[in-house]
């Protein structure tokens, strides 16, 4: 078992979601604590410079992998403002934090345009794919674990 893991901060109870809420997941936190794992809580959207609360955003033209490859972008759901740079910055910082902390596994909030692992909100609805941070972490050798 890993000794230190990255965890989406909202799952840890931090009120960092776009709507100012959190997604605290006591079962996950209890399980990690029982195993003696140290949690590194991280919110890529806040670290990328987006405040809380912030407009909900979706990926347009693909998923997080496509954003990293320059073939898709992230836009706000209301009005389509391009926020791709902030999402990329948050993803880069997540990979840096994982490397600095020695995290090889990341527990990530499903469906988020940053943290989604198997499903992600896009301009055409919820589709199979991953978020921008998840894609970046995967490329950095960090294994994502989906938390619904
Ligand atoms: S970016 Fe990730 S950590 Fe931050 S609120 Fe969204 S799902 Fe949670």
Q: What is the pLDDT of residues 38-79, one digit of tens each?
A: 999 999 999 999 999 999 999 999 999 999 999 999 999 998
d(CA 134, CA 98): 12
Which tens digit of pLDDT belongs to each residue from 83-142?
A: 999 999 999 999 999 999 999 999 999 999 999 999 999 999 999 999 999 999 999 999
Q: What is the pTM of this model?
A: 0.97
Which atom of ligand 1 lies at the shortest distance from residue 23's CA?
Answer: 8
* pLDDT of amino acid 79: 85
Q: What per-residue confidence (pLDDT) applies to 2?
A: 66
Q: Is the CB of 119 under 6 A from ligand 1?
A: no
Pairing of strands 57-60, 73-76: antiparallel
Q: How far apart are CA 94 and CA 8, in angstroms?
A: 10
Q: Is the CB–ligand 1 distance for residue 134 below 6 Å?
A: no
Q: H/E element holding 42?
A: strand 38-42
């Amino acid at each position: 078992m890993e000794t230190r893991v990255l965890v989406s901060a909202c799952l840890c109870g931090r009120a960092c979601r776009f709507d100012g809420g959190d997604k605290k997941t006591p079962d996950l936190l209890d399980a990690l604590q029982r195993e003696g794992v140290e949690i590194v809580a991280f919110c890529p959207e806040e670290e990328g410079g987006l405040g809380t609360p912030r407009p909900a955003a979706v990926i347009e033209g693909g998923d997080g992998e496509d954003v990293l490859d320059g073939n898709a972008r992230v836009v706000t759901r209301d009005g389509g403002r391009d926020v791709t740079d902030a999402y990329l910055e948050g993803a880069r910082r997540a990979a840096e934090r994982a490397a600095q902390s020695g995290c090889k596994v990341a527990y990530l909030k499903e469906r988020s345009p940053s943290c989604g692992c198997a499903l992600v909100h896009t301009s055409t609805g919820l589709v199979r794919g991953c978020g921008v941070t998840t894609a970046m972490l995967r490329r950095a050798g960090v294994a994502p674990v989906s938390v619904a």
